[in-house]
Structure 1
């Protein structure tokens, strides 16, 4: 996929390679951004609802973004106005391997700017057991290749 608005079709699916998440990176992220006990203390986390140390949901979302950029970065991307319906469905544990899969569920040319359009991607972060750990509808803004 080249990445221009014209290249995107509803139903287009894509998937990233997987990445294994380490305890050290989980701890580093949590110390900096989400210092809750079940993200920081392996012993105390055993007593939590998660039953063990797990990644911050925001760390999972950041990993999702990294995997997408490594796989699908496009010169036609103009950023994003955000996402809809973000859900953390399962915890991400040290040693889990995740990948991202996305399917275009909507595509709309801009009404006010002829050089661009938006696409909505049903996006899931999936672990090695094929369980969805995070889901969201991500919105991307894409430049058109030819604006006439």
Structure 2
């Protein structure tokens, strides 16, 4: 189990990769972001995207899947998140792209009101196969502290 106490500021981790498929881009767009440039090659060609592009929210969802797979494998003592800061979609994501999710711990803070938990801020960068950033944000994650840390 990885606890808050085990996390080090400055630590960098590649969480993993995700291959973006056309079918998934269309399915997500139909359900959650049905803008024409997410649904139609012809409509996307009329925009700055130039071709069918994934929704930014789909990019965020794919990123979350990569992170959850990694932290589940590690058995991280995560308790969810109160939010993210500075979410930016830097470049379009297209079917056929392979996304890589990397995080760097920038801060950790023990809770003042709940001594059994702490928060961790991580700068997350999602890049495509050409190592170009497509999305960035700072996550805030709550984690359990090691109950045996003082023992």
Q: What TM-score comes out, normalization by structure 1 length?
A: 0.96
Residue matched to 1:52:
51
1:74-118 alpha-carbon deviations (Å, 9 max, x no partner): 351010000000000000001000010000000000000010000
**1:8-19 mapped onto 2 (5 Å cutoff):** 8-19=7-18
Q: Which residue of 2 aligns with 1:83?
A: 84
* Counterpart position of 1:66: 65
Gaps of 5+ in 1: none
Cα RMSD, aligned residues only? 1.1
Q: Which is worse superposed, 11-20 or 125-134?
A: 11-20
Q: Which runs of 4+ in 1 moved over 4 A?
A: none
Alignment of 1:30-41 (within 5 A): 30-41=29-40
Corresponding residue of 1:127: 128
Secondary structure of residue in 1 paired with 2:16: coil
- Equivalent in the alignment of 2:3: 4
CA separation in 1, counterparts of 2:100 and 2:70? 11
SS in structure 1 at match of 2:13:
strand
Count of residue correspondences: 147
- 1:3/1:142 contact within 8 Å kept: no
Q: Measure, in 2, the Cα distance between the counterparts of 1:110 and 1:83.
A: 18
Between 1:72-81 and 1:25-34, the stretch displaced more is 72-81
Shift of 1:137: 0.2
Distance of 1:62 and 1:101 partners within structure 2? 15
Q: Structure 2 length normalisation: TM-score?
A: 0.94
